[in-house]
Amino acid sequence: MTKHTRKRGTGTVRKDGYIAHYRNKRIVFEHIEIAERALGHPLPRGAQIHHVDGDPANNAPGNLVICPSKKYHMELHARDAARTAGYPMEWRKCAFCKNYDNPNDLFFSGVHYHKACRRQYLKARYDRIHGKT
């Protein structure tokens, strides 16, 4: 993460990279203030802000995407991870073997996985728990 410094009175850069201000004795995040200003009203319940370039300190309005839900926000991150890894954006990573694959070839139960990878993981876990080698 890049190191950011701020002028006195312009907010604090937190350890996680987000910029925070104190308003009426409460911590307010700069990216949320900017998004709400652009909307003209407070964010809807459950909405999240996505930083397109991945830098939580870059709060330029063009770098912020208002996501209606956490699920949508996580989908943006999954698409970006696949694209960065050199795969089509719709491909997902198997939670067990960590390889990307077409979602039509994966199963989903909270995470994407290949049936064979999950079976192998569960067998190894069973053997480890029951002392089999």
Write the pLDDT tens digit of every residue in 43-101: 999 999 999 999 999 999 999 999 999 999 999 999 999 999 999 999 999 999 999 99
- Element of type H or E holding 76: helix 70-84
Please report the pLDDT score of residue 82 as a whole number.
Answer: 97
Please report the pLDDT score of residue 24 as a whole number.
Answer: 85
Share of the chain above pLDDT 90, in %: 79
Name the token pair of 74.
């996580």
Of 82, 28, 26, 30, the residue nearest 51 (C-alpha): 30
Paired with 13 in beta bridges are: 19
CA separation for the pair 17, 108 (Å, rounded): 32
Contact 95/112 with Cβ under 8 angstroms?
yes
The reply to whether the predicted model has a pTM over 0.85 is no
